[in-house]
Structure 1
Amino acid sequence: MAAFNHIMDILVWSIQIFTGLLIGFSLVGLEARRTSRKLLIISLFFGVAYAAAAILFSPTWLIPILIILALPFLVRLMKVPVAQSTIAVLLAVIYNLAVVSLIEYNIFYLLLDAGNVSLDTGTKMSINLFVSLNNIFIAMIVYSNSPVLFPKLLFEKSLDDDDPEISFSGRAYSVILILFLLAVGLYYTVWELPHIRLHYRWFITLWSLTVTVAIILFQRKLILFKNEKVQLFLDRQYQKELLTFFSMIRSQRHDFNFHLTAIYGLIQKKEYAACETYIKEMVKSATVINDLLPLHHPATAAMLSTFKERAAAKGISIEYIIMNDLRNCPCSVYEINKVLGNLIQNALDEVERLPEKNHPIIVELNTEWNQLMITVMNETDLAGEKLGDLFEAGFSTKVHHEGLGLPAVKKIVEKYQGIVYPELEEGFIHFHVSIPEGTTTKRG
């Protein structure tokens, strides 16, 4: 009988841990159907650990502690950012304290106290059974609907992004702090409940639950407000680059009438050689725009055109080879511009400091085996032993540079399960980027 009770306790505790974690990870944007198996395994493991620890320690506070101790395992198992896992775990702890302890168990004990009914083995087993079935029912609802409180998109925008305009790190860590303090308050409330008078116990239960819901919803409002600011910033960036691109096209079209007049005049004077030279110059100028027109995002085309003009002013040539229009690139426009912009700027800085500029910078966008391939090639005098340091934050071969561009590129590329690496070949350096196409829905 003792062994049976022990097994039942393990199941009860495992169900509570599993339901809490399932809710926590669902609320931070992970689909419950995809996470349930992993969470079930870790819940059973910690359910057994709970049973072993309950022999030596008071079981009142063990489940919240065990859920927190599970954090390193969950980060590794779920493969999500630490901040996202931490918020999920804290939400699981809050669920366990607020719903399981304050609502389910506490209300049963209040009713038993009000009816002067003693808590014997049979009553305790009935309560555990009811709580377990209730948690299974809640888990089934979460499994079917995957409710979201803090969308996964917020964490995908990179909690440690270099750009403060789109970084959610400060907001995310403030949510972690608030949820932690809330969990501590709930824990202390649950701990002290047996020592509080009956009527005040009812009040403190309802008050704690109300405050918990209000604080969590308020934090959600703050996160969504930050998200709206980020979207506004990205829209402004997109519109700015778009207007630049359209301005170049309008300028080219405006100049076209003057070119036609000049060509007509040369033909009238029968100066055919001069006319041919003039047309070649026109074609050369128009090629700058025409080469970039295939790109899916005008904002990217505008940025690349700006780089070409900026390089030409410094006596540096940039050639673009567009074999992939970036239509299926999983990155947002802001991210792909950041990747290309940092790589091209890095190439410009490197070529600019060379005494002779004999070769152009080559930027190629291609497709290989459903992978977006980006290659930026430029002349260099970089030593081979320094290649391994290029993606380290703070490392730079240039004076007065912070060395943040290439680490930022690596961060974005790895976010989409891609790779970036340099290759040194006879005085030239190639930066290769490979990103699986269509792995994530694009965002503008």
Structure 2
Amino acid sequence: MTVGIGDSMGGAIGTIVYYTILYSIQICTGLLVGLTLVGVDVQSRFKRLLGITLLTGILISIVSLSIEVVLPLVFIGILLIPIIQYSLKLPLSQTIVAVLLSSLFNLLVVFLLEYNLLELLHMMSGVQMDLGSQFSMHLLIALNNIFISMLMLSKKPIVFPQQLFEKQLSKDESEISFSGQMYFVVFMLGLLVVGLFYTVLELEYTRPGYRLFITIWSIAISLASIYFLRRIILYKNESIQVFLDRQYQKELLSFFQIVRSQRHDFNIHLTALYGLIQKGEYEACKAYIEDMTKSAANINDLLPLRHPAVSAMLSTFKSLAQEQQITIHYLLMDDLRNMPCSVYEMNKMLGNLIQNALDEVRQLDRDNRLVTVEISSNRNNIIMRVTNPTYLHEDKVHDFFAVGYSTKVNHEGLGLPMVKKIAEKYDGVIYPEILDGMITFNVHIPV
């Protein structure tokens, strides 16, 4: 299908400028559609996206002087994958799906729907397509694409959620991954692009009636396929939410069982204290109360936290540490009510950091087995610090977040990369500090 304006625009330079404006708008609209549908925040990356589309528009405007315009628009769009990934800092799978959706938009909406139907209307009217008609058609389509771009920026519709493209670092069998669904989505979208590409190339050689039928049929098949893919992803997403809810309920039940047990024991302690007072054994009563206070402190220290599932996890680690003759001190100066991440993600960050600390101090002398966990906040950030003694040197710091790196035997080295991935998801940072034989992992997450 040809969308050129001929050679009478005032020379090659004028033609290239005209094509550059026309195709830059079309490419930008396609990428906006593709990136928005995969959950990318396009507004914060809009300037870089404009730079990419302008350079691509110039390239296509030069190439399209001698080649059918459908060819460079589709294939150069696919060649843009590494450039878009590097410039916009996106996962490779997310970039591929976004570019495939962009190609689908150009083939389905721009060529099959806009150009094709306008050309059919001209054919049915019997009016010859002159220079003015071509210019009017291009202007109408360009304005329509600008309107679609504004609509995508304001509404931000998402077809495929962010979880689809997140790399799963955990090897836990309970971890639910989207990897299989992602490959299927790429495969199906690729088939649609190939089919529509061939359809667009063959349109001008078909009868007007069949041309209209194949247009409607292609749109119906494409929309049905995308709807089918979306339903698969939504079903998987619901499975993950069920899994997370079960984890939350399990941790919550564990914490409430501890609280109920403590409350049950409280009546027994009152009876024992009453008996000691009746006998006048005040020193024994004082010692008994001190033991009760130490026992109750394990739970009371965690009660300020707003999320019981976080309290439950910290309580579990406290009990685990006691079994291994390790002391954990919790310094809770923020209740985490403003945390931007989910409870599940918070537990993964704290859990991995505390587990790493326990694994390390377990190798030390019993007198040196101390872990300090601090949760605080300043005006703009939630701050988590986990501190423990270490034998590591500062020159090892740069290796901590490499996938597979571990200083311990039989460890897969996935904990710290997972913490880093979650922190960066919310524009946060994690960094270690080694000072005087102590290592502290600091996590700062904007609220």
Query: Could you state the TM-score of these two structures normalised by the residue count of structure 2?
Result: 0.90
Aligned twin of 1:323: 333
* 8 Å CA contact 1:161, 1:167 repeated in 2: no
What CA distance in whole angstroms lies between the structure 2 residues aligned with 1:127 and 1:117? 14
How far apart are 1:186 and its partner, in Å?
Answer: 0.7
- Where in structure 2 are the equivalents of 1:9-408 lying within 5 Å? 9-30=19-40, 36-114=46-124, 118-152=128-162, 154=163, 158-162=166-170, 165-408=175-418
Name the residue aligned to 2:4. none
Relative to 1, partners in 2 of residues 1:379 and 1:31: Cα closer, same or farther, differing over 3 Å? Answer: closer
CA contact (8 A) 2:329 2:372 kept: yes
Name the SS for the 1:85 alignment partner.
Answer: helix
Supply the AA of the counterpart residue of 1:365: I
The amino acid of 2:333's aligned partner reads M
In the alignment, the residues of structure 2 paired with residue 406 and residue 142 of structure 1 have an alpha-carbon distance, to the nearest angstrom, of 36
CA distance in 2, matches of 1:382, 1:6: 61
The one-letter code matched in structure 1 to 2:155 is N
Q: CA RMSD in A?
A: 2.3
Give TM-score scaled by structure 1 length: 0.90
Cα distance change on mapping 1:176 and 1:318 into 2, 3 Å: same
Distance 1:389 1:140, change over 3 A: closer
Q: Which amino acid aligns with 2:376?
A: N
Aligned: 1:422 with 2:427: no
The superposition leaves residues 248-268 of structure 1 with CA deviations (integer Å, 9 ceiling, x where unpaired) of: 110000000000000010111
What is the CA-CA distance between 1:43 and the residue it aligns to?
2.5
Distance 2:70 2:427 in 1: 42
Helix, strand or coil for the counterpart of 1:315? coil
Match of 1:441 in 2: none
Aligned residues: 435
Residue 128 of structure 1 aligns with an amino acid whose one-letter code is: H
Relative to 1, partners in 2 of residues 1:41 and 1:381: Cα closer, same or farther, differing over 3 Å? Answer: closer
1:144 and 1:393 map into 2 onto residues whose CA distance is: 38
SS, match of residue 304 in structure 2 = coil
> Quick check: 1:2 aligned with 2:10?
yes
Distance in 1, Cα, partners of 2:380 & 2:41: 26
Cα distance 1:2–1:27, how it changes in 2: closer, same or farther (>3 A)?
Answer: same
**For the Cα contact (< 8 Å) 1:320–1:363, is it kept in 2?**
yes
> How far apart are the structure 2 equivalents of 1:352 and 1:396?
15
Using the alignment, how far apart are the partners of 1:384 and 1:161 within structure 2?
25
Q: Deviations over 1:244-295 (max 9, x none)?
A: 1111110000000000000010111111111111100000000000001111
Cα pair distance change 1:33/1:348, threshold 3 Å: closer
CA contact (8 A) 1:175 1:219 kept: yes
Q: Secondary structure at the match of 1:363?
A: strand
The change in CA–CA distance for 1:214 and 1:328 in structure 2 (over 3 A counts) is same
356 and 246 in structure 1: CA distance in 2 versus 1, 3 angstrom threshold: closer
Report the CA distance shift for 1:417/1:141 in structure 2 as closer, same or farther (over 3 A): closer
Deviations 1:206-258 (A, max 9, x none): 22111111001111111111111111111111111111111111000000000
Preserved CA contact (<8 Å) 2:93 2:182: yes
- Higher alpha-carbon deviation: 394-403 or 204-213: 394-403
After TM superposition, give the deviation of residue 166 of structure 1 in Å: 4.1
Secondary structure of 2:391's aligned partner: coil
Assess, with a 3 A threshold, how the Cα gap between structure 1 residues 138 and 243 changes in structure 2: closer, same or farther. Answer: same
User: 1:159·1:172 contact (CA, 8 Å) conserved in 2?
Assistant: no
Structure 1 position 118, deviation (Å): 4.6
The offset of 1:357, in angstroms, is 3.7
Question: Do 1:296 and 1:325's aligned partners in 2 also have CA atoms closer than 8 Å?
Answer: yes
Shift in Å, 1:369: 4.9
Distance 2:189 2:361 in 1: 50
